[in-house]
Amino acid sequence: MSDSGTRARTADLAALMTVTPPVAVVFDCDGTLMDTEPCADAARGAVFARRGQVYDDAARAALVGLSVAQGGEVMARLFGGSAPRLAEELAEELLAAVADGARPMPGAADLVARLAARVPVAVASNGPRVLLDKSLAQGGLSRWLPVTVSGDDVTMPKPHPACYLAACAALDVDPAGALAVEDSLVGARAAHTAGMTVLGVGTLVRGPHVHAHVPALDDAALRHWLAGW
């Protein structure tokens, strides 16, 4: 999950236009396929409020993109308490918030459907299994995504590359030929370390770990690139 502030308005797909189309595409879920950032903010805010803490921009920046377990560790450092208990509480709040209000990102369903007709697709998420499954089902995306890797399925969450390596292994593809679609720097680092090409979405513009960028999944430049496969 990434910052949902001002998004770069211009797509930059030059790095993708000059290479062979990917052999597979692996998506992040939260903030990339599913608009769960408001859910995450509400869940974190509830955990903070119970302890008389303010969930401000600095706290948000410290938690964006992390797994639930990592979030518990960060909160324990910020205001004390048991990291596992904080993580458990955060997971409970997230699940309730996702069930109540998670929606697909604009263009997500169409893009996943188009890609699934061309190449193997999967999801690699830092979220726990129950949250990932609930979110994808809530968004009606599960039908196109039979392969998913959650934070519970690997020993090291993003920014470690384990989840992306596991997704590529499940698809039986070489990570070097696969594309990762991410909205957070934590996730981009994981995919880049796995050896994948990284497409950043929203505020995640080109940089050391990001090869190309689109403002949103329904961007016309992205549809044009797909049409050229």
User: In terms of domains, do 64 and 87 share one?
Assistant: yes
In a domain, 149, yes or no: yes
Arithmetic mean of pLDDT over the chain: 92
In a domain, 8, yes or no: no
Contact in structure between 115 and 23 (CB atoms under 8 Å)? no
**Final residue belonging to a domain, choices 75, 101, 127:** 101
User: In terms of domains, do 122 and 183 share one?
Assistant: yes
Structure tokens at 173: 């593809």
Q: Whole-prediction pTM value?
A: 0.84
Confidence (pLDDT) at 58: 94
Rounded to the nearest 5 degrees, what angle is found at the Cα of 198, between the Cα atoms of 212 and 172? 140
In a domain, 3, yes or no: no
User: In terms of domains, do 121 and 160 share one?
Assistant: yes
**Final residue belonging to a domain, choices 101, 119, 153:** 101
Q: How confident is the model at residue 66 (pLDDT cuts 50, 70, 90)?
A: confident
Helix segments in the chain, DSSP class H: 14-17, 37-50, 57-63, 68-79, 83-101, 108-116, 129-138, 162-171, 185-193, 220-227
In a domain, 9, yes or no: no
Confidence (pLDDT) at 3: 42
pLDDT digits (tens, 9 = 90+) for 71-97: 999 999 999 999 999 999 998 998 888
User: In terms of domains, do 161 and 187 share one?
Assistant: yes
Confidence (pLDDT) at 7: 57
Q: With 80 as the cut, is the pLDDT of residue 65 above it?
A: no
Contact in structure between 154 and 58 (CB atoms under 8 Å)? no
In a domain, 110, yes or no: yes
Domain of residue 41 covers 37-101
Which of 8-12, 55-59, 181-185, 222-226 is least confident?
A: 8-12
**Final residue belonging to a domain, choices 50, 76, 101:** 101
Please tell me the number of Cα atoms within 13 Å of 225 on its side-chain side.
Answer: 24
pLDDT digits (tens, 9 = 90+) for 111-158: 999 999 999 999 999 988 988 998 999 899 999 999 999 999 999 999
Q: How confident is the model at residue 2 (pLDDT cuts 50, 70, 90)?
A: very low
Q: How confident is the model at residue 159 (pLDDT cuts 50, 70, 90)?
A: very high
Q: With 70 as the cut, is the pLDDT of residue 1 above it?
A: no
In a domain, 173, yes or no: yes
